[in-house]
Structure 1
Amino acid sequence: MKVLTAHPGVFNDDKVIESNISFVPFLNYLKEKVGNGDDARSSFYQLIIDKFESNPDILKPISPDADLSQYKEYLDLLIAAIFPVTTDSSTDIYGMGAPYRFAIFHYSDLFKQLFTSDGKELTTVPDGISLAQVKKDKMTWLYKLILEKVFHFPMNYKNDIIHRVETPDGIKRYVKVNIDARFVDVKVNGSIPHLDYNQFCSKQITPEGLQQLLPTHLFSLEGFVIWTVKDVTQSETLNNIKNLVMNMRANNEVDSYRSLEKMIPTILGIPDITAHMVPFPKVNGKSVLEEQFSNTDPILGIGNKKQQQHFFQLMLEHLQQHPVPLIVPDVNEATINPHPFLKFLPIKNIRSFILCPITHKKEVLGVLELASSVPNRLSAEPLWKLQNAYPLLGLMLSRSMNILENRLNEVIKDQFTALQPAVEWKFVDEAWNYLLTPPEERKDIESISFDEVYPLYGAVDIRNSSVQQGNAIREDLQEQLELIRDTLETIGQTVHLPLLEELQFKTNDLLQHLSNSLQAGEDLKVNEFMDQEIQPVLEHLCEGNETLQPVLENYFKKIDKSEGHVYHHRREYEESLSHVNTAISQYLEKERLYIQQSFPCYFEKYRTDGIEYTIYIGQSIAQEKKFDHLYLRNLRLWQLSSMAHIARLTHKLSPKLKVHLQTTQMILMHSAPITISFRSDERRFDVEGAYNVRYEIIKKRIDKVHIKDTGERLTQPGTIAMVYSYAREMDELKKYIAFLQSKKILLPEIEEVELEELQGVSGLKALRVTVNMEEA
């Protein structure tokens, strides 16, 4: 048998320590066994001893590079003594080699397949481990051996290495390599230092430190080591899954599932299958489907969202009635017909399929799906191998439920409460102090406030939103009345009732008096007419006359609020408004995270016809960081720049909308610090003090303010209006404007205007600039 060695020059083992093959330590081991007399194989051991000792040459050290074929009969005896008769060279993984050296002189067939790349040289570096790490592991193993054999320190010199290998059938598996050194003697060359075990164990010594203390040239090795390799795929993969579950967070949730799905075929020992796992978290007690998991799913990853939800509900109903694996060895029309949610499997070239529910206390947490393009590739048998992994799969799905719950809480906190991270620390401090107080001494937590904070207010409004909405309602009402008129005329040709003529008269009257600009109460009047007079009559006629049924069904279909044609103007307006507000909101949400990086601030955003926001910044909000006015100036520059970006964003979006909408942008400059406190009843911050209230009054009254003596609205599409009270505020704003003009974000002109007096507020002025809509 040829000696397998590492590629020359990889480790230079011969330069680290002298190592030779010797059978003497093995023979000494056998002599101890024979001396005990209790071993039933003593006579066999004595036979081996006699055979070896009959040839003095074989008792001498042998170079690892020597040709061992001349010692075949001795090696056969050696192998027979060490490896049991039940050992199979084609299925078991083992070998024997020179101490420390990567030189294996006896090995099983499977050992050669796994640990050589070409059948000639050892693959010395395990997958995922650096060459430097392997060298360090080898040196650690060597010094543990020296300390035990020479200094008789109680050392655990076993050096197990987990090695990821690919078997001949293409399955990736994990094996644990153990190098047994019981048949190795350590020879001492010259004098060595004395080591005290107690002192040695009192501090940690690295292999590098041991090399200084005990140079390897003082020692040599004689004997041989036994390599045994154990398949630990199941346990190692389970450990990997445990790590996935323990480290899964919201930001790596999908990647964790993808990694898990790659491990499942390894556990099952079936390389040519794919696995997919989908969690079924619950919202308000109902199982829901998250799009991030459904897009690549074999069952749900086809069709639109409505179709996905339909299949999801069908799957849920099946699993609730049959919470056991659904196994379809051969996917064909006959086998999937009883299960409509499997109808798209053939389109995805899936010919063998398993749907396995993961349950806990009779509740379906999610499903594991296994698929293969080969018929009859999957059956019930492999599922037994998932038994040990099943609790971990359930734990991972439960973790997903917690992640979704946290995400929902974050949305609720962001959208409906005021406890943002920038201020939450103070609430946590107050809550902790509350808990530290003995229950009998506790009092309600007083109002939480922040002093000396600077407010920044901005508003993005939809120009003429109320007019646009009124036009949409009027056009829909007109179409609906026309539909009623046409329907009544059609019915009148079949059914002769004076009441129908009277309803036609009322319909025409409402149409004639429907004003061009919708007046208050007109929509209520029309809706009341339709609900109380038209609908009951039509419903009665629909039930009693089959001839009229198609006509009446057409009417009811067209007045459906969700899909009906006569609601399309209102629907188009609402969709366009929602599209604009969502785009603005998403931009501000991204920017909110960005501005927090420079200095903590409270950012409150709320939706009206457009989007308004207030930002508070100051020392009292920052828990640890020192406040400086440069952070305030930086935020004001950001505010002006972001408004320009929003103007460009909505301008670019406008042609894509079903209803043309334009936005106006406004900023309120307020240079004096204010105090804010948390209002528990409204779950939001509000200003404190009479002087500070002036700021709130200005905020609420400038949205439709006019330029003095002109009647012109201050806010105009494509511009940014900046309202201020003092000259120093104007000077600061002009610096920011000049900078953004130099970057071609704003056009060169600046308008300086005075504003009309508002109730309780006077002396307001404003700057107005035009945004350059041509992005550089």
Structure 2
Amino acid sequence: MNTDKQISCPFSQLPFSSVLSFELLIKDIERIESTANHPMKDLAKSTLIALNKVPALKKPIRNTSILNENLDLVNQLMTFVINPLRHQNSMEACTAPIGQDPFFATELLKNSLSCEHKLFEIAKGGRQDLSLISKLYQAYLLILEKFYNYKVDVDLPFTYRLTDTKEGYIKYIRKHVTSDYIQVRELKKHTKLTSEDITKLLDNTDDLEVWNEIIPLENFEFSGFIHFTLIDITQDFVISQLKTDLLDKKTIETSEGFEVLQKRMRALFDNPKLKFGMAVDADEDANMNLNLIWDTIIPRSQLKCEQYMGTIYEKAFIEKRIINTPDLTKIPQDIVIQNLLDAGIKSLAIVPLFIDEAPVGLLEFACTKPNSISMVQIKRLHDVFPTFALALKRSKEEWNDKIRAVIQDQFTAIHPTVEWRFREAVGHFLAENKNGGKSTVESIVFNDVVPIYGASDVRGSSMERNMAIRADLTEQLKHAREILDYARQIKEMPLLEDICFNIQQNIDTVQNGLKAGDEVVIIEFLTKEVNPFLQLLKERFPELNEPVTNYFNSLDPHLNVVYKKRKEFEESLTLINEEVSEIIETEQVKAQEVFPHYFEKYRTDGIEYNAYIGQSLVKRLKYSDIYLKNIRLWQLLVKVKIARRIKLLQPQLATKLDITQLILVHSNPLSIAFRQDEKKFDVAGAYNIRYEITKKRIDKALINGTNERVTQPGKIAIIYSHADEIRDYKKYIDYMIAQGFLTNNIEDVELEDLVGASGLRALRVEVDLSDLTPNQIENSEIAQVVSGS
């Protein structure tokens, strides 16, 4: 259950009765007394004799004063539950069923909780009374176990926080409950639960109203007592919380977030006086000294970045190791050490952070007492250092993005072809405002330009990506389940059954096909529940050390999940896009030499480009339709070059991907206008919007009367509306067939009507892939073909 989420609860108090009883324990003692050679036989015999003198202890105990009157006998009874040798080193206690105050506890637990300055509370839950809710869930789970033989771990997923308000120490505790001595009596005949009922319960763990409809608590009564153990999970809990914190960029970019980090560090180091600092590694650009991540122990106002050069801080980066200095007074003094000593710092540890050997930033830990920081404490954070590094790197990149955004806002990067028009408009603006005017920059519009559009899209990329995600998740879930199955052979634990059940549910979800949001939920389950539990098993059972280590070694060190198939897919997709982009970029330079035109390229799961050509885009050149013909033949030749390059590339791809290619022909000139809010050109006018709609939908268009997409690997689809638009293309195709660039396989097909675009046709040609020699695209040859047509 998610204790961060508001839980729907219909109760303000417990709706059932419970009574303290030693009945089941006494039966255990009777079995011991009758067992020959049992090491506790004599104690069992003397205990039973003493109980016969106090028969009230054999019955349900509704008045607990009898416990105080027979304290020695109660302590003797509890010897069979809690080993007296554990009293000083284990926090254990016994309470009435679903009770609150222990009637028996170990000395360590009494000392830990009895002081007024020690606060024991559920760590999460906001304003809700989770103490009541935890008892309700415990009751439900006991009923499921006793009456329906459905074992669910009663070690409820509530984490408790033990705070020493006097000293400032914080510990995080998990409560492990055993129910061996609990009886559940049915007051009213229960109905048999179906598998659908169980599923409904587990799907609504945050809604107790649903639970009470299926299992009315008022129909049951509890007797006996509960034995529980409090387990210190501070390290695992805090590290898990740290990783979650660092996913939120506000954590390291705000003072509030930094305070949260410092509190976590103090809990991990078990030192309420610990001081924590962090900083992003500065770029060569001196302005990075002003970066927002510079929360060092000595403020930036006292020590600048360059003053750390030549000190132990620089040494930590050069030697790529953690430097722990137990006593700063015993090492050579410099300006940094002196500032630290002036601030009262005596012990210091510096942790340099790297990603792929490149420095990212640092963490520092300090204390006013010498010898207060050990390497053992620092190594507790070893698993979280990579997350810190990624968080700092991300914030550094976002900082640089903000700088670029400001530059982009004030000094927009303009395509060279149309830069003259922007200079002209700004010139007018400055001239009109030099005497205090308030005019705005005039609109930038280019009329009567012909659009040119082409796309090289990776076929089935969404499906391949989904398959890769499913393969990685399945591998990780099955690997985790194998380890847990092995763990069940070593020791039976209720929580193992619950987690195994959840793992299988997630495997089924993956195999049945992921829906929106499933991937995030499963990864969160793996990282927040499965991984910490496996780490706990590794520490507890030596025979699980190697399997669990192998499991974590199989995870991506940065993402903390299996990232094999997804990595293969992303690398293959990137490789294709880089190849396509490189061809277009190279050939576009030559195309601009034919006649300057506006051009923009953008990446999706492939590469698309928009271009516009026309007289209004240029100032001192004379435009002619012959240049448009050049660009159209250039488009076709580039598509052939891309198809051949990708065919050659495919053996190198870990994930077998292919591309489809299309060209959209639109002969009617239109207008484009620069949108100041988005810093980009868009078509202007309601009629011209049809062109934009067509662009967005044609890649998925089907041939009319079929289920076949017009775009197919190895072919180029030339989409058009009118026969005269395709006349020149047919001549170019004849030339390309003669040159061995295309085969004779030519199709002229009608497309299904699209929303907002109907009456489209496509001329589909096949690239000749029998010869993969790259075709050279020469402007002179293009000009000769075009002029001859």
Which entry has the higher C-alpha Rg, 1 or 2?
1
TM-score (norm 2): 0.48
TM-score (norm 1): 0.49
